Amino acid sequence: MNLASPRVVNVSDLRRLARRRLPDAVFDYLDGAADDEITLKDSERAFREVLFKPRFAVATPACELGVTALGHKLELPFLLGPIGYSRLMHPRGELAASKAAGRNGTAYILSTMSGHGIEDVKAQSPGPTFYQLYLAGGRGAAEGAIARAKAAGYTALFVTIDTPVAGNRERDVRNGMKELMGTNPLKKLKYLPNILSHPSWLASFIVDGMTRPFPNIVVPGSGPLAAVDVAAALESAQVSWTDLRWIRQLWDGPIVMKGVMTVEDARRAVDEGAQGIVVSTHAGRQLDGVAASLRVLPGILEAVGDKTEVLFDGGIRRGADVVKAMALGAKAVLLGRGYAYGMAAAGDAGVERAIEIFRADIIRTLKLLGCPSIAELNSSYLALRPGFRVD
């Protein structure tokens, strides 16, 4: 597949190619969000309410993009975030993301809901790899996954706290995501015409063995958890603050709480000993009507930014968005759909192209700002429209 310019010049182009390749159930699982998708839309709109204040006539022959996050020096200010069911989007899925992250000097975060094994994903990357934890399958399954991640060389644990139940993802219901992941062939018939109209995806899905159990959710006495739709998978995945103390007994590396959206939760995470937090709306896929994570980032940074590492996640589609989040004070940012569209469209090559686009965007934005490095960004480069913040 040709991913070069002018066919692909931005993330929206990768999204278009992913939409063409994937059946509706799979594309809308990646692209959609909860209820009326208010939070999803606000996550992108919020970046348009942050304006740049450039310094001109400043020489910036080279721009330094490196950051240090969770004890690792990264060559890029973004990490590739966890995307569940990545193997459903492309057979290489998590393997492609891990390999691309390692090749480009950044970190990859593997989702519990992954289609490839913890060890195989780590083997793709010489760089830092982190594990995102759900309690799907119960504590016994989580204990096994944590032990495997530690043995394989994962160095940080991202604990997602915003999934007491799955959000009401109406696109998934309409498109038959549950039926696609299920084992009853009769229930798939209604959605078969759409699936057959995407022969490239269907062929790769069949060759890859179709629906597989989750290799990293191994329930003691039962084996790997059968593949189910996301709502069913998250029913047993709720995490409480008391679980963090239990997790700390199993994991001696950094623990990062993902899904923090209030100052109160940020302070609680610090009190419980978290080495980092991710300010995130879960891509708008959980509670709809929550403010964009960019809007709450300044207040959370003011409260705990000097006590823990604050990472940002949500709505990033351009390198300029990365620069805005970093200028507000984030330690680093997570890409989600921003690279997953590329992965879904073309596997390894798609992830590489997404990273290439973001890198070029960031460098160009820094030069146009008159800022020589990511490390020198600060809020003086920004102007916020009235009413932007939500505290």
Point out the residues that are catalytic: 282
Q: Which two tokens stand for residue 234?
A: 């998250």
Nearest-angstrom CA–CA distance, 100 and 232: 31
* 258 neighbors 158 (Cβ within 8 angstroms): yes
Nearest-angstrom CA–CA distance, 119 and 71: 22
First to last CA, the chain: 45
Q: Which two tokens stand for residue 293?
A: 């994570």
Cβ atoms within 10 Å of 135's Cβ, excluding its own? 22
Nearest-angstrom CA–CA distance, 209 and 188: 17
Burial class (CB in 10 A: 0-12, 13-18, 19+), 185: exposed
Nearest-angstrom CA–CA distance, 282 and 280: 5
Task: Return left, alpha or beta for 221; rule: phi > 0 is left, psi -120 to 50 is alpha, else beta.
Answer: left
Cβ atoms within 10 Å of 327's Cβ, excluding its own? 21
Local structure of residue 291 (DSSP, 8 states): P
